[in-house]
Amino acid sequence: MTRIQRVSASKSAALQVLLLALFEQQVRSPQTKDSRTRLPISYNDNPLLSTWVEFTALPTVDSTKRRTHPRTAKANRERQIKRALDRLADCGRVEIEPERVHGRYERFALLDEGTNNAPGNGTTYYARPKPGRGKTRRLVVTIPVEFFLNGWLDALSDNEIITYLTLRLMAQAFPDRHAEGGVFLAQAARQDTFNLDRGFEAHRMLSRYGLIDTIRDRRRNADGTMDNFEEIGAGQIHRFKLDDSTLTQPAIPRVITSLTRFAQGLDSDFALLSDAIDRRTTPKTAS
């Protein structure tokens, strides 16, 4: 498993919290060297400083009227954040205080992702990476701030996030290929380099959302299959181009619309056509 796959888990917000923590580090002043978060978990006297409960957009339910020992939506979100930090600590991605220490989650510290921070190996804290040039450039993935500010981090599933970041890495590692005809990932590269097998199928929903443009062999159907396979051969594999203009749109309504059309049985071609019609016919509101 890759490092990001180790973090990901069903019903866990660990991946979202990790990426948000990285974002919080990135938007600081370059002069700030502290790897610990500046944001309190859930309570703060300073009205100008957000808390992690406010900073995240995790799905929560107010159960105060339905449970014997109910929790408010805020308490549920706080619990999700703390459980996510527990998992990240187990994976060596953050440092928190030992169990039974009061405020053990406050001012948690990000750890270097390329270092084994297990007990006995010392601690290497996170430092903002430098993109570099040439082959070194392929080691760093840049993400537009709109991915966070417009809610895409919260709207995508873990598999969709991992696939999206994989395609961003490929696009940035091979910019000329991406600009000319799109990047591709053969099955061997998907499995050997990124450990992506069935999870890579998330690219289909990314295409429906408009985050990527899928360039497929004209002989392939919308679902990627081919008719008369025995006669015409295997065909060309999909190529992909990022469409960062979609990141400027609010994620939640976009994803809901796409999922609704998916549930209605529209294949990707009809869904994308419907999206284009919506954009042309929906009146623009005054800003």
Query: What's the mean pLDDT in 255-284?
Result: 78
Please write the tens of the pLDDT for every residue from 17-47.
999 999 999 888 877 778 899 899 988 888 8
Give pLDDT, residue 157: 93
Query: What's the mean pLDDT in 162-178?
Result: 91
Query: What's the mean pLDDT in 2-15?
Result: 90
Give pLDDT, residue 286: 42
Q: How far apart are CA 95 and CA 106, in angstroms?
A: 10
What percentage of the chain has pLDDT greater than the value 90? 37
27-65 per-residue burial string, b: 16 or more CB within 10 A, e: under 16: eeeeeeeebebebbbbeeeeeeeebbbebbebebeeeee
Q: In the chain, where are the structural domains located? A: 3-110, 134-281
Chain center to CA of 257: 19
Q: How far apart are CA 107 and CA 39, in angstroms?
A: 7
Give pLDDT, residue 46: 83
Give pLDDT, residue 166: 92
pLDDT at residue 69 greater than cutoff 70: no
pLDDT at residue 66 greater than cutoff 60: no
Task: Calculate the average pLDDT of the chain.
Answer: 83
165 backbone φψ class: left, alpha, beta (φ>0; ψ -120 to 50): alpha
DSSP 8-45: --TT--HHHHHHHHHHHHHTS-TT----B-SS-SS--S
Please write the tens of the pLDDT for every residue from 186-201.
888 888 888 888 888 8
Please write the tens of the pLDDT for every residue from 85-127.
999 999 999 999 998 888 999 999 999 888 877 777 778 999 8
DSSP 152-194: HHHHS-HHHHHHHHHHHHHHHHSHHHHHHT-B---HHHHHHHH
Largest CA distance in the chain: 71
Please write the tens of the pLDDT for every residue from 191-242.
888 888 888 889 989 999 999 998 876 656 655 555 555 555 556 678 899 9
Q: What are phi and psi of 182, to 5 degrees?
A: 90, 155
| pTM for this model (two decimals) | 0.84
Which pLDDT band, with edges at 50, 70 and 90, does 287 fall under?
A: very low
> If DSSP codes are grouped into helix, strand and coil, which group holds residue 226?
strand
Query: Are β-strands 109-110 and 212-215 bridged in parallel, bridged antiparallel, or unpaired?
Result: unpaired
